Each structure stands twice: as structure tokens, then as C-alpha cells.
Amino acid sequence: MTTVLVLNGPNLRRLGTREPEIYGADTFDDLVDLCRRTGAELGLKVEVRQTDDEAEMIGWVHAAADARTPIILNPAAFTHYSYALHDALAQRTAPLIEVHISNPHTREEYRHTSVVSSVASGVIAGFGLNSYVLALHALKNLL
């Protein structure tokens, strides 16, 4: 069974309480459950992680590249400025899907630019937590 990492950046553990008008009322635990259930339906083992630490995220990406592990990534705020994360992701050896719960292009102008998208296999945004479901299906098709 293929293992997939679902990596989440800053503030995503605050789902359910952080700006619910943008990110919805579902919690991070709801996201973990949704990803694991969807993965099981697709024959994928899904490991969901979250960090507010850029160095920890980069370490996870390096380990995934070394192990040829596919990634679904919600880089959160790292999306807009982390060239270090971009450079780590550029070393990927398996598919990478960038996801966002909201649609960054309908929000503040600084959110319109992703430094991650250029190294991703694809981007899914604006469908709430369903963005992760769509990403898991897309990833399965890429494998």
C-alpha cells in the first residue's frame, strides 16, 4: 500500500476556531479523519501532519524525497514567501499536489502568488476540506 504524506503549514491546527467564515467550522481532527478515510477508500495509507515550523516542514519534505513518498501539501502562509520550502520541494521524487482550503486568488493580493506552485504536479484550491479529497483522487491517478 502506498503511503502519502498530507503536510499542513502554519495555523492549520487551529481549524474550526480560526476565521471560520473563511476556513469553515471543521476542525483539524475532522481533516485528519477525512484524509484517512478517503485514502483507505483509494487504497492509500495517509499520514497527516501539521507544523508551524518551517524547518520541520523542510525536514519532512527532504525525508519524503529520499523515500519517494508522494505529498499533498497545504503550505499555508509558507505558500507566499518560503523559497526554502520551494527549493526542498524542487527535489521531490514523487507527485506533489498543492492544496488550499480557500481560494487564494479571491483574497488579499499578497495571497495571489505561490512560490510552491511551480514545483507542484497540480494545485487544488477553494473547495474547503474537499480540496484534500480532490487532491487524494488526483494523486491516486498520478501514481
The residues that are catalytic are 23, 100
Q: Per the annotation, where are the binding residues? A: 74, 80, 87, 101-102, 111
Residue 126 in contact with residue 120, Cβ under 8 Å? no
Is 56 strand, coil or helix? helix
Burial 98-114 (b: 16+ CB within 10 A, else e): bbbbbebeeeeeebeeb
* Numbered residues of the known binding site for substrate: 74, 80, 87, 101-102, 111
